[in-house]
């Protein structure tokens, strides 16, 4: 069994960077950094994050990252 941890690392204008790690017991066995971009579904271009999204993402930010 493994534990997967995910935290918000950075909030950009139209993107969010997530830090992720997989732990087996106390040992970290994998790490990843993921960038998700908010896009407009009609234009397929980056779209700024709304204030509600920023507030929700900020609540998930990990202080030590």
The pLDDT of residue 65 is above 60: no
Q: Any residues with CB less than 8 A from the CB of 14 and at least 6 apart, and which?
A: 37, 38, 39, 46, 47, 48, 49
The pLDDT of residue 9 is above 90: yes
The pLDDT of residue 27 is above 90: yes
Mean pLDDT over the full length of the chain? 94
Predicted pLDDT of residue 18: 96
The pLDDT of residue 3 is above 80: yes
The pLDDT of residue 47 is above 70: yes
């Amino acid at each position: 069994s493994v534990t997967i941890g995910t935290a918000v690392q950075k909030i950009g204008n139209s993107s969010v960077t997530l830090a992720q790690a997989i732990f087996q017991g106390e040992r970290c066995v994998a790490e990843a950094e993921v960038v998700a971009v908010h896009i407009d579904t009609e234009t397929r271009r980056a779209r700024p994050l709304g204030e509600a999204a920023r507030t929700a993402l900020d609540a998930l930010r990990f202080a030590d990252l």
